[in-house]
């Protein structure tokens, strides 16, 4: 029998298995165990959470492969890792390590200011950030098998994740009411491949799984994003920069499953200890914002 | 007929879409009371550790075990792990089927694959001769079956990827990610 690996169905399919779940940023194997025990459906292995990348500054690059391998050895759930935008050699290295998903991420310092990685060239699937429908479809056009909102990573302020999710989902809602002859000029207007615009209209949703990311810090934030219509949630700094990571992680997992049940949300939100301190995005200088990275 | 899909985590929406294509009434199951009035249940793909923890936290373990004694249950991938008796590590299991399962048996995501399977029971039940195209994602294998459990499908090297025990079904692949409704039809025949 013929056996095929690295197909589009396989790449997209793993993201479908993550739906309704929480993907957590971890910087040590111990964090990864805490995340798995709390019910995370995957972890993102990295050296510094976005809040620390912000605080420490400097060039943010792919993490040390040694750390990524140690985290892969410590848990049974899928492990993701980040490479810089456009840095296809970092992506080749992550693929060689055997990570389950690569995040071509604006949280790291971009390596290319005009181009993203041609992700169709890889067997390993990629997730990419977006702020609107055009950006999401450009990334899918390059081969991203999963999309997430960018939000504003490392702030604990959910406002940008909400803005980006509302933008993508609202634009899809308008797209579904357009006449077929309007699609070509709409594709031109938003800078997206025509075929993907057409497919999105037919499906009434993005052709791949769409998670929220960038600023989720509480169970209520996570449920808010789910009610807005995303398929699952990434939590970066929000867990391990809080007072009681294990408890907060488990609460956010429950909130994503029971996102419409306000009495369960009230129950899981009780006594979680200190949330991450956070930074208000509205008063943040433009130069410090990460979401503008990506083309 | 009304079929529930365990909606704690995973690709439950894909199973619901398949069932809707077959004109079956569906329900999402997140709490024990959601099992009331169902004729069968699908446990979807996802992460078995996540699904297990949420099932324990919301007191679903005993109600699911009782449900499986009287009604059809089908576990796909993570669901096949959750319905099994033994997975070789400590995690919550329903222990309904006499199968031993090994998680991530083919390796990591880059080793995930698609292939055609020959499943005589499926051909017979649905009256078609086409091979079954199966999608495996970080898939488990069924290391062994015992008791009343029987092998339904194997890949070419002989490793077991589907098993049945009366009205209970386990597949290490994902029929909900294909356009082929035959496996869902086969499950509905067990639930009837």
What gap in Å lies between CA B186 and CA B173, rounded to an integer? 15
pLDDT of residue A49: 93
Q: Is B54 on the interface with A (CB under 8 A)?
A: yes
Q: Which residues of A touch B107 (CB under 8 A)?
A: 98
Tell me the pLDDT tens digit for each residue of B130-178: 999 999 999 999 999 999 999 999 999 999 999 999 999 999 999 999 9
B110 contacts on A by Cβ (under 8 Å): 5-6, 95, 98, 123-124
The predicted structure's pLDDT at residue B50: 98
Judged by CB atoms closer than 8 Å, whether chains meet at B116 and A9 is answered as no
Say yes or no: B155 contacts chain A, CB-CB below 8 A.
yes
Decide if A20 and B10 are in contact by the 8 Å CB cutoff. Answer: yes
- Shortest distance, CA A40 to any CA of chain B (angstroms): 6
Q: What is the DSSP letter of B131?
A: P
Q: Closest Cα of chain B to A25: distance in Å?
A: 16
Give tens-digit pLDDT for A194-229: 999 999 999 999 999 999 999 999 999 999 999 999
pLDDT tens digits along A8-67: 999 999 999 999 999 999 999 999 999 999 999 999 999 999 999 989 989 999 999 999
- Flag if B49 and A16 touch (Cβ within 8 Å): no
Percentage of the residues of chain B whose pLDDT score is greater than 70 = 100
pLDDT at B29: 98
Q: Please give the pLDDT value at position B136.
A: 97
User: What was the pLDDT predicted at A2?
Assistant: 86
pLDDT of residue A35: 98
The Cβ of residue B35 has, within 10 Å, a number of other Cβ atoms equal to 18
pLDDT of residue A277: 86
What pLDDT is stored for residue A163 in this prediction? Answer: 98
- Going from the C-alpha of B75 to that of each of A3, A249, B160, the distances in angstroms are 23, 27, 15
Phi-psi region of B103 (alpha: psi -120 to 50; beta: other; left: phi over 0): beta
Across the interface, whether the CB atoms of B114 and A19 are under 8 A apart is answered no
DSSP per position, B75-115: EETHHHHHHEEE-SS-S-----EEEEEETTTT-SGGG-EEE
> Which of B137, B153, B155, B161 best probes binding to A when mutated, by most A CB atoms within 10 angstroms?
B137
Residue B192 has a pLDDT of 86
Break chain B into its structural domains and give their ranges.
2-191
Q: Which CATH number fits domain B2-191: 3.40.50.880, 3.40.50.720, 3.30.390.10, 3.40.47.10?
A: 3.40.50.880
Binary contact (B54, A39; C-beta < 8 A): yes
ipTM of the complex: 0.97
The residues of A annotated with a catalytic role in the active site are 82
Chain B residues in contact with A95 by the CB 8 A cut-off are 110
| Those residues with Cβ within 8 angstroms of residue A255's Cβ, 6 or more apart along the chain or in another chain | A219, A220, A222, A223, A226, A264, A265, A268, A269
For residue A263, how many other CB atoms are within 10 A of its CB?
7
pTM passes above 0.90: yes
Q: Is B46 on the interface with A (CB under 8 A)?
A: yes
Q: pLDDT tens across A136-189, in order?
A: 999 999 999 999 999 999 999 999 999 999 999 999 999 999 999 999 999 999
Question: Searching chain A, which residue's CA lies closest to the CA of residue B135?
Answer: A10
Tell me the count of A-B CB pairs closer than 8 A: 123
Asked if B10 and B177 touch (Cβ cutoff 8 Å), the reply is: no
Checking if the pLDDT of A1 tops 80, the result is no
Cα gap A241→A215, rounded to integer Å: 12
Which residues on chain A are in Cβ contact (under 8 Å) with B139? none
Residue B162 near residue B151 (C-beta atoms within 8 A): yes
CB contact under 8 A, A76 and B103: yes
Q: From the CA of B9, how many Å to the nearest CA of chain A?
A: 5
For chain B, residues with pLDDT lower than 70 are none
Interface test with A, best of B17, B47, B53, B180 (most A CBs within 10 A): B47
Convert the pLDDT of each residue in A269-283 to its tens digit.
999 999 988 899 999
Of A72, A78, A124, the CB nearest to B138: A78
The residues facing B76 across adjacent strands are B171
Contacts of A125 in chain B (CB under 8 A): 109
Torsion angle, alpha carbons of A242, A244, A245, A247, to 10: -130
| Closest to A88 in 3D by CA, of A121, A135, A44 | A121
- Residues near B66 by Cβ (< 8 Å), separated by ≥ 6? none
What is the Cα–Cα distance from A16 to A209, expressed in whole angstroms?
6
Nearest by CB to B46, which of A4, A7, A41?
Answer: A41
The residue of chain A nearest to residue B51, with distances taken between CA atoms, is A39
Separation in Å, CA A44 to CA A67, A75, A85: 12, 12, 16
Average pLDDT over chain B, rounded to whole?
A: 97
What pLDDT, on the 0 to 100 scale, is given for residue B131? 94
């Amino acid at each position: 029998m013929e056996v095929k690996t690295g197909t589009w169905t396989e790449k997209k399919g793993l993201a479908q298995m993550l739906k309704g779940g929480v993907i957590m940023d971890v910087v040590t194997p111990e964090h990864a165990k805490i995340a798995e025990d709390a019910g995370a459906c995957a972890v993102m292995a990295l050296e510094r959470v976005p809040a620390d990348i912000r605080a420490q500054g400097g060039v943010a690059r792919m993490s040390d492969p040694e750390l990524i391998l140690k985290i892969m050895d410590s848990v049974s759930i899928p492990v993701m890792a980040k490479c810089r935008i456009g840095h296809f050699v970092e992506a080749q290295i992550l693929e060689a390590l055997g990570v389950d998903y690569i995040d071509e991420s604006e949280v790291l310092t971009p390596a290319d200011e005009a181009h993203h990685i041609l992700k169709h060239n890889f067997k390993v699937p990629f997730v990419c950030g977006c702020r609107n429908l055009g950006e999401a479809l450009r990334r899918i056009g390059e081969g991203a098998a999963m999309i997430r909102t960018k939000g504003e990573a490392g702030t604990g302020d959910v406002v940008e994740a909400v803005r980006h999710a509302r933008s993508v989902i609202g634009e899809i809602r308008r797209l579904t009411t357009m006449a077929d002859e309007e699609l070509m000029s709409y594709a031109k207007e938003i800078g997206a491949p025509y075929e993907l615009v057409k497919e999105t209209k037919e499906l009434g949703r993005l052709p791949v799984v769409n998670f929220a990311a960038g600023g989720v810090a509480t169970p209520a934030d996570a449920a808010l994003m789910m009610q807005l219509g995303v398929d699952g949630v990434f939590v970066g700094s929000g867990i391990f920069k809080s007072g009681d990571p294990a408890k907060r992680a488990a609460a956010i997992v429950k909130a994503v499953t029971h996102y419409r049940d306000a009495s369960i949300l009230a129950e899981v939100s009780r006594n979680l200890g200190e949330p991450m301190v956070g930074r208000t995005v509205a008063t943040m200088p433009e130069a410090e914002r990460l979401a503008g990275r990506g083309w | 007929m009304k079929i529930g899909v365990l909606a704690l985590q995973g690709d439950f929406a894909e199973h619901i879409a398949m069932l809707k294509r077959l004109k079956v009434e569906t329900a999402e199951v997140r709490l024990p009371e959601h099992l009331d009035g169902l004729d069968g249940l699908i446990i979807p793909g996802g992460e078995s550790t996540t699904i297990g923890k949420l099932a324990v936290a919301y007191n679903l373990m005993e109600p699911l075990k009782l449900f499986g004694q009287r009604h059809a249950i089908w576990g796909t991938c993570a669901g096949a792990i959750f319905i099994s008796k033994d997975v070789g590590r400590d995690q919550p299991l329903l222990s309904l089927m006499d199968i031993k399962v090994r998680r991530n048996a083919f390796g990591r995501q880059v080793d995930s694959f698609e292939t055609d399977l020959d499943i005589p029971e499926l051909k017979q039940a649905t009256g078609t001769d086409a091979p079954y195209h199966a999608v495996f994602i970080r898939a488990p294998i069924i290391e062994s079956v015992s008791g009343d459990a029987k092998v339904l499908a194997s890949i070419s090297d002989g490793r077991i990827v589907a098993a049945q025990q009366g009205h209970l079904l386990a597949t290490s692949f994902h029929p909900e990610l294909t356009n082929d409704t035959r496996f869902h039809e086969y499950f509905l025949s067990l639930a009837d």
